[in-house]
Amino acid sequence: MAFDARDFQNARRAEYNKGKGTKKLVWVLLAIIVAFIAVALMSIVINYIEIKEIGAQYVSSFFTNIKVRIIAQMVSFLIVFIVFTINNFVLRRILIKENADLWYISKIVPMVLLTFVISLVASSFISDNVYSRFLSFANATSFNRVDPVFFQDIGYYIFIRPFMESLIDSIKVILIIQTVYTALIYLFLNMRNGIENFGDVLKNKRIVTHNIVNVLLVFISIAMSFKYNAEEILYGNFGELSGAGYT
C-alpha cells in the first residue's frame, strides 16, 4: 500500500509540475505578444511625429502606408498562422502517443500561442519585405515598350516583378524555417530516448511523410522563383556590356 501511495503522490506531483510549466510558458508567450504589439505601436507613433514635423502634407501618405502595411501584415499573419497550425497539429498528432509526458506536446494552448508568436514575427518580416513594393504593384502602369529577351513591358520590371519576387522569397523563407523547425523537433524528441533510437526517425513512415511534404513545399516555392531568376539576365553585367546588351 505504501508503494501505491508513493506512486500516486509522484503522479500528482508530476501532473502539478506539468501544469505549472504550461502556465509559465503561456505567460511568457503572452508577454512576448504584448511586448511585440507595444513596440510596433510605439514605432508607428514615433514615425508619425517625425512625418508631422517634416510637413503636415505628408501625413496622408504616412497613413496610406500604415494602412497598406497593416493589411499586408494581417493577411500574411493569417496565412502563416494557418500553415504553421496545420503543421504543428500534424506534428502533435504523430508525437503525442510516445511523448504524452511532455506538457508542451500534450497541451494545446501553449502550441497555439507558440504558433501565434511565430506567425506574428514572420508576418512582420513579410510585411516589411512586401508592403512598399505592393504600392508600386497596385499602381502599375504600362510603358508601351518591351525588353528584347522576354518581351515584357518595361512597367512589369519596375512595378510588378519586384513585388512578386519579394513575395515568393518571403514564402520560401517561411517554408524553409517550417521545414527545419519540424525536422529538429522530430530529431530532438527521438534523441531523448537515447542515441541508439536515432534511426527510429526514419523508420516512422508518418514522420518521414510529414518531412517529405515540407521539403516538397520548399522545392515548389523554389520552382516558382525560376522565372524571376531567368530574368536576372537583364540585370547582369558581362564585361563592358550591361543587362541583355550582349544579345
Three state DSSP letters for 39-93: HHHHHHHHHHHHHHHHCHHHHHHHHHHHHHHHHHHHHHHHHHHHHHHHHHHHHHH
Task: Locate 152 and state its grid cell.
Answer: 515584357
Question: What mean pLDDT do residues 148-158 have?
Answer: 88
Angstrom distance (rounded) from CA 89 to CA 57? 49
pLDDT band, very low/low/confident/very high, at 247 (cuts 50, 70, 90): very low
Question: What mean pLDDT do residues 202-208 have?
Answer: 81
Q: Is 165 helix (H, G, I), strand (E, B) or coil?
A: helix
Q: Where is average pLDDT lowest: 26-40, 131-145, 170-184?
A: 26-40
Identify the pLDDT of residue 138: 82
**Spatial CA neighbour of 175 closest among 224, 128, 130:** 224
pLDDT tens track for 79-116: 889 998 899 888 888 877 766 566 566 677 777 888 88
The more confident residue out of 89 and 217 is: 217
Identify the pLDDT of residue 36: 77
Identify the pLDDT of residue 2: 46
Identify the pLDDT of residue 51: 83
Written as one letter, the residue type at 101 is D
- Summary mean pLDDT of the chain: 78
Q: Is 241 helix (H, G, I), strand (E, B) or coil?
A: strand
Q: Is 126 helix (H, G, I), strand (E, B) or coil?
A: helix
pLDDT band, very low/low/confident/very high, at 221 (cuts 50, 70, 90): very high
The more confident residue out of 174 and 8 is: 174
Phi/psi for 112 (5° steps) reads -65, -45
Identify the pLDDT of residue 235: 74
- Residues 6 or more apart whose CB falls under 8 angstroms from that of 52 comprise 59
Identify the pLDDT of residue 214: 93
- Residues 6 or more apart whose CB falls under 8 angstroms from that of 1 comprise none
Identify the pLDDT of residue 10: 47
CA separation (Å) from 64 to 70, 116, 201?
Answer: 10, 26, 50
Identify the pLDDT of residue 38: 85
State the greatest distance between any 2 C-alpha atoms of the chain, in Å, as a whole number: 90
Q: What percent of the chain has pLDDT over 70?
A: 77
**Spatial CA neighbour of 72 closest among 114, 135, 116:** 135
pLDDT tens track for 155-177: 999 899 999 998 898 889 889 99
Strand partners, 241: 238
Question: What mean pLDDT do residues 198-216 have?
Answer: 82
- Residues 6 or more apart whose CB falls under 8 angstroms from that of 80 comprise 118, 119, 122, 123, 126, 174
